[in-house]
Every structure is written in structure tokens, then in C-alpha cells.
Amino acid sequence: MAPVPTVNTPSPDTAPAVPASSVAPTPGVPETDPRTPHVVVVGGGPGGYEAALVARRLGARVTVVERHGLGGAAVLTDVVPSKTLIATAEWFTTAEQGPELGVRGEAPAGERRDLVDLEAVNARVLALADAQSRDIHSRLEREGVEIVVGEGRLDGPSRVVVGTGSGTTELDADTVLLAVGATPRTLPTAVPDGERILTWTQLYGLKEMPEKLIVVGSGVTGAEFAGAYQALGSQVVLVSSRDRVLPGEDMDAAELLEGVFRARGMTVMSRSRAASAVRTADGVAVTLVDGRVVEGSHVLIAVGGVPSTAGIGLEEAGVRLSASGHVEVDRVSRTSVPGVYAAGDCTGVLPLASVAAMQGRIAMSHALGDAVAPLKPGRVAANIFTAPEIATVGLSESTLRERGYRYVTTTLPLARNPRAKMLGMRDGFVKLFAHPDAGVVLGGVVVAPRASELIFPITLAVAHRLTVDDVADSFTVYPSLSGSVAEAARVLHGQSGEDLAG
Ligand SMILES: Cc1cc2nc3c(=O)[nH]c(=O)nc-3n(C[C@H](O)[C@H](O)[C@H](O)COP(=O)(O)OP(=O)(O)OC[C@H]3O[C@@H](n4cnc5c(N)ncnc54)[C@H](O)[C@@H]3O)c2cc1C
């Protein structure tokens, strides 16, 4: 039998927990003193701005170089806008439950599109993103971070040159953090025009709801937008090159979501790879590699991101990049060059804002001599904002299998939960993985409305190596969806568990 996993234990390639930093600030030395270390952060997304705040707190002089707006793609084009749009779509998903719960007046799917004022929705999305970006800008300024607007590039390992439009600024740095993020990948045969052929950053310029939206790519981004526009009343065709949507995610969750998509009237084309997209007289035509043609009013290309690492002097400075162009980092965010760190989507570790921020914080703690715990990817919680949502934490079932770990698991359908019954929820489940002898919770999956909130007790269990008994012995509110988390833990203890939560 394979060895028992030791979860959340740093692997041997992990750097020491507390480094002997050569650039640690001297206590009591003012910021203007030449002995104060200068940290230059390139990129003002979550990887960059969170790091800047930590570096200031640790006493460094900090400059953030950002070419667009503070908050990065996370705030301006990706996380904040997409989740704000999805908040509008959720109104319709919730309203679907209306007739069953005794409410008259559900908007039939075919008429929904007319009820959505997309200009107002998009204006709200962009205003919210802009306000958050300005908030971050002010916060950094308040904390004494210098912000330089422009395009940064490395000139050797300890200098950043910024093209500011009116000239260049040179910044000498004791420590550089690269947090340049990624941009949407496009296909040369499907060139976005911002009107009909779109990347996700261009969706918020639409004035009217797409009549028929073709979404190319069934990863997290494709699935989230396909679900949202379907809920808002567009006819949606999801073109997936794989056997099922959400490849790489928990298989049961992905299958459930695909079933829900189809039941809501979405066309999901599996094993169908898009070759090109062109404009037609009144819409778009997407040609698949097998020659089939799908016509629609708009197409969204959601086939992943490309790290923004080209042409900014990284390789010339000795920073090692992977074949995909990502900056290679260890678990304390060090690159191959001493003094140069990297965080976020440009590293390709896990494309999540929360991970970018954590990598940035870790980098600064390491560089400036504070206590630091290396990144533990096995503890990351993530969520897919579809309806229902899919939240995961800890080791996935495929990882447990691939690594040959021993584990026990149980899956409780949401339909058995009394609160879910009252709310008219059917689609979803809670799944837990635990060590068969020690009972330590290794990971979990929650598929439910607001799974992003329900995953937290499992996150705590994984982070603190709690056992299924610890979880099962904790009170949950009756009736509540979280009752299913405790119930799953009870099942794993071996009890039959027919109690209030069941
Ligand atoms: C549609 C969508 C939805 C998402 N939803 C979620 C979600 O719900 N939750 C979640 O955790 N993650 C989500 N993500 C992922 C998340 O957006 C990224 O993981 C996160 O933005 C990464 O942060 P970052 O700091 O690495 O990069 P970014 O946020 O991309 O910021 C990088 C910044 O660097 C700047 N920059 C780049 N090059 C230079 C240069 N040479 N000089 C100066 N500035 C430069 C850019 O202008 C940008 O502002 C989503 C992604 C997408 C595409």
C-alpha cells in the first residue's frame, strides 16, 4: 500500500522557513535613509499591491509600477467585473425557484433578455471595478507607497526602467517583485474585434444582450460566463474540446454542472475544438476542426491566459521562464535570480487572486527577513461561480488517486438536506476526503448555491488538520446547509448518521 500522505508538509525543495535576509530593514532607520531597502513591485494586481502593503509594514521603501490601474486585471477586468455580472444573473436563477415556492410571475427564459438593461448592468460593473481600483490606489498612497504609472521592464536584476510616456524613470532596487499577471489568450484565426468576437475583458462594452452567445472554452472562465449569460436570457452554445466541461475539476461536480447547463437549455458541444471565428453579415460563424459551423450573434473566446512576461528583460536578467513563458518560482516566490521574486498569474502556480496575494506577501516576508511559511497549494480554497457554485479545498480526488494515497470519502446529495428542501434546491452535494486511520480531513468539495461560503468549515479543517470527529462534534444550525458538512464527517466516522441534518 502507498505511504500515508502527510498533508500540508513542505516538500524538500521548500526554502527555509526563516531566511537570513541581506536586505532586512534596520529597526528605527527612517524611509529616507539610504540603508532602508527599496522594493520595486512591477504590476499592481493582488500579487503586487498586497506585497507592497506588507513591504511597507516591514519598513521598506516601496515603489509600485503599474501600466493601467491599481487592482490589476483582478479588479478591472476579471474577478470583480465577472462576479458583479454574475450577481445580476443570480437574480434570475433565484427567481426560477419562485413558482415552486409559491411566487407567481417568473420571467420565462425566452423573455428574460428583454428584461435585462445590459447598459445599466455593465455601467454598474465598471463603476464598481473603478471604485475598487481607486480605493486600492488611495490605500497604497496612504501607506506611503510610491506609485509610478508606466510600463516596467528589468534592466538587470536590480534595476527597473519605467516607460512613462513622457520619458523613462530608472528605479534601483534591493528587491524586485514581478507581479505582471496575464492577458487573455487569443487565436490568430479568431481575432477579437470587441463587438462580436470578444475576450472576457471586452464583454462589458456590450450595449445589448447577445441573442445567441457561443462560448469557446469550457474551463472555469468559459463555464462562469456561459452560465451567467444563459441565466440572463441569452441562448448559449458552449464549445468544449474535452469530454466534459471543467476539465481538471472534481469529476462529479463537473458532470453535475454540465447536466444543469443542459437542463437549462444550454447546448454543450463536447469533444468539439474551435478552429476559427469570423464575422458574418449579422453575427459570427465559428468553424470547428471537424468542419462543422456554429452560428451565433456573438462569440466569447475563453481559452486561458498568456503570462505578461515577454519583452520586459526577464531572460536577459537571468530570470528563468518555463516553456509556457511563466516565471519559475519556488514556494517562497524566489525566481532563479537572487533578489528577484515573482507572484501571481505570471508564475502559473494557481491562477487565483487569493494565491497571487499570498505569493506576494510571502515574497516580501522572505525578502525582508520576516518569519515566513512557504505556500501550501494543498490548502488553497477555490470557487467556480456558476449556479450552483463549485467550491473545493485541499487535495482533490484525482490528486489522491494519482499519488496513490489512502483515503475514505463520502458524498451527501444536497437534496437530502432539510434546509435545501425548504429552499427548493436539488442540485448539489457535499463531498469529504479523509485519512482512513487518523481521520484527518484531507479535502472537500461543495456544490451548492453559495458554496464559496460553505467551504470555509472544511478549509479550517484542512488548514488545522482537524479530524472528521472534530468536524462532526461541532454544532451546526438546524436547519442549515452546513449541517451536511457535519453529517458527511459523521458518515466518515462510520456512523449511519440519521439525525437532524440528514
Ligand atoms: C474572468 C475571470 C474571472 C476570475 N475570477 C476569479 C475569482 O473569482 N477568484 C479568484 O481568486 N481569481 C479569479 N480569477 C483569477 C484572477 O483574476 C487572477 O488570478 C489574478 O488577477 C492574478 O493577480 P496578479 O496580481 O497576478 O495579476 P493581475 O491581476 O493580472 O495584475 C497584473 C497587473 O500588472 C500590470 N502589468 C503587467 N505588465 C506590466 C508592466 N510591464 N509594467 C507595469 N505594469 C504591468 C497589469 O496592467 C496588471 O494591472 C479570474 C480570472 C478571470 C480571467
Task: Name the residue among 389, 453, 457 with its Cα closest to residue 253.
Answer: 389
Residue keyed to cell 458583479:
84
Res 25 pLDDT > 80: no
Residue 51 C-alpha to ligand 1 middle, in angstroms?
14
Tell the residue nearest (CA) to atom 19 of ligand 1: 352
Q: Measure the CA–CA gap between 364 and 473, rounded to whole angstroms.
A: 39
Cα separations (Å) of 199 from 190, 205, 206, 282? 10, 11, 12, 19
What are 132's three cell numbers?
475598487
What spacing in Å lies between the alpha carbon of 439 and ligand 1's midpoint? Answer: 37
Q: Residue 285 in contact with residue 295, Cβ under 8 Å?
A: yes
Mean pLDDT of 435-459: 96
Q: Is the pLDDT of residue 17 over 60?
A: no
Segment 60-112, tens digit of pLDDT: 999 999 999 999 999 999 999 999 999 999 988 888 887 787 777 666 667 78
Model pLDDT, residue 98: 75
Cβ of 387 closer than 6 Å to ligand 1, yes or no, is no
The predicted-structure confidence for 327-361, as pLDDT tens digits, reads as follows 999 999 999 999 999 999 999 999 999 999 999 99
pLDDT at 35 (0 to 100): 82
Question: Beta strands 441-448 and 175-178: pairing type?
Answer: unpaired
Give the CA dihedral 243, 246, 252, 257, nearest 10 degrees.
-100
Q: How far apart are the C-alpha atoms of 21 and 121, rounded to whole Å?
A: 49
Q: How far, in Å, from the CA of 345 to the mean position of ligand 1?
A: 6
Reported as a single tens digit per residue, the pLDDT across 215-227 is 999 999 999 999 9
Out of 77, 79, 183, 312, give the residue to mutate to test ligand 1, the one with the largest number of ligand atoms within 8 Å of its CB. Answer: 79
178 lines ligand 1 (CB under 6 A): no
Mean pLDDT (the chain) is 91
Output the DSSP codes for 51-76. Answer: HHHHHHHTT-EEEEEESS-TTHHHHH
Q: Per-residue confidence at 498, pLDDT binned at 50, 70, 90?
A: very low
> Is the separation of the CB atoms in 133 and 70 below 8 Å?
yes
Query: What 3-state DSSP class applies to 157?
Result: coil
Q: Kindly report the pTM of this predicted structure.
A: 0.91
9 pLDDT above the threshold of 90: no
- Worst-scoring range by mean pLDDT, 5-9, 80-84, 491-495? 5-9
pLDDT tens digits for range 439-448: 999 999 999 9
Residue 102: what pLDDT? 77
Tell how far the Cα of 46 is from the centroid of ligand 1, in angstroms: 7
Locate the ligand 1 atom nearest the alpha carbon of residue 357 and give its number: 25
84 alpha carbon to ligand 1 midpoint, in Å?
16
What is the mean pLDDT of the segment spanning 457-476? 97
Cell readout for 477 is: 444550525
Q: Kindly report, residue by residue over 177-226, the tens digit of the pLDDT.
A: 999 999 999 999 999 999 999 999 999 999 999 999 999 999 999 999 99
**Of 77 and 166, which is predicted with more confidence?**
77
| Ligand 1 atom 4 nearest Cα | 79
Residue with cell 486561458: 304
* Residue 416 phi, psi (nearest 5): -85, -15
